[in-house]
């Protein structure tokens, strides 16, 4: 990843994700279940979880594998890897964690039966290089399976805060198409092209929607700490911050139902297969 992404995830953003682990795990539980269901229960597989964060999906994979297999999580964020290791210790889990950049890390060649990710692959600064590196780490026939967000237009909840705050705080960062970030894989044809260029085969990209809920009491902490607004809100003085928070909270009202916040997460579920023979053939031509 770029130096900027490394700094972000080893700085305030990484610490924020650790602090909000319980909320984020609740929000992303159905997405994690969707990727982890590819793990064959009780198998001797070696499973790699890319961008594992604080470890929820890696731990879930380890529970499905039991003592026969191995679940390894990799993430560039030292604070999140520390949190994941602590969770594994508390759970007496066999899951292990590596603090490294999956784009360039020297994984064992053909060392994994399954590579999965829950929102962890959209932050590579060079996706073709990253997926080629993961392909080298996959055994022949191994599956790649990941969840990524569809476009910003399909996920209005995700951009509500920045849109509402923009007139009051012009420095809210914009979202550049295809740049590393939540919506980097919003274009399914781009995703397909990246994977095929990285020697993955049988690429399948399909839309999936998830119903998400969390307590209304967590809404203000959510939008003041995450996303573009969360990165710049501290720059405003206290009266301006109060005004921004009140304005943004009103903008979220359509998503509030009693004591809950409800929204639809529009995602892509992508799968592909490693075919090492194809890769050798390609290298010989």
Q: What is the pLDDT of residues 90-107, one digit of tens each?
A: 999 999 999 999 999 999
Contacts of 183 (CB under 8 A, 6+ apart): 122, 149, 150, 151, 152, 155, 175, 177
Query: Class for domain 3-153+174-212+266-284, per CATH?
Result: alpha beta
Write out the two tokens for 198.
């990285």
How many CA atoms lie less than 13 Å away from 278 in the CB half-sphere? 15
Going by their DSSP bridges, the two strands 112-118 and 256-257 should be labelled as: unpaired
Average pLDDT over residues 77-86: 96
What's the predicted TM-score (pTM) here?
A: 0.92
Q: What is the pLDDT of residues 188-242, one digit of tens each?
A: 999 999 999 999 999 999 999 999 999 999 999 999 999 889 888 988 999 999 9
Q: What is the mean pLDDT of the chain?
A: 92
- pLDDT at residue 123, as a whole number: 92
The domain segmentation of the chain, as residue ranges, is 3-153+174-212+266-284
């Amino acid at each position: 990843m770029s130096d900027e992404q490394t700094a972000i995830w080893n700085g305030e953003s990484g610490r924020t994700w650790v602090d909000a682990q319980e909320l984020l795990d609740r929000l992303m539980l159905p997405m994690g279940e969707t990727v982890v269901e590819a793990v064959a229960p009780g198998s001797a597989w070696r499973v790699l979880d890319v961008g594992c964060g604080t470890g929820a999906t890696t731990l879930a994979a380890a529970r499905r594998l039991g003592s026969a297999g191995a679940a390894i999580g990799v993430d560039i964020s030292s604070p999140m890897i520390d949190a994941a290791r602590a969770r594994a210790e508390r759970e007496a889990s066999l899951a292990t964690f590596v603090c490294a950049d999956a784009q360039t890390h020297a994984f064992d060649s053909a060392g994994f039966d399954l590579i999965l990710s829950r929102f962890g692959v959209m932050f590579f600064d060079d996706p073709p290089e990253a997926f080629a590196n993961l392909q080298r780490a996959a055994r022949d026939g191994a599956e790649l399976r990941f969840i990524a967000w569809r476009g910003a237009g399909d996920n209005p909840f995700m951009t509500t805060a920045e849109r509402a705050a923009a007139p009051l705080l012009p420095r809210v960062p914009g979202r550049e198409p295809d740049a590393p970030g939540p919506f980097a894989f919003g274009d399914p044809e781009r995703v397909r092209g990246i994977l095929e260029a990285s020697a993955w085969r049988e690429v399948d990209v399909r839309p999936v929607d998830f119903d998400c809920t969390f307590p209304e009491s967590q809404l203000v902490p959510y939008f003041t700490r995450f996303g573009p607004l969360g990165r710049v809100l501290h720059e405003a003085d206290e009266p301006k911050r109060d005004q921004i928070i009140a304005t943004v909270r009103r903008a979220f009202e359509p998503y509030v139902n009693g004591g809950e916040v409800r929204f639809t997460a529009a995602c892509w579920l992508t799968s592909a297969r490693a075919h090492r023979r194809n890769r050798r053939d390609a290298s010989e031509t």
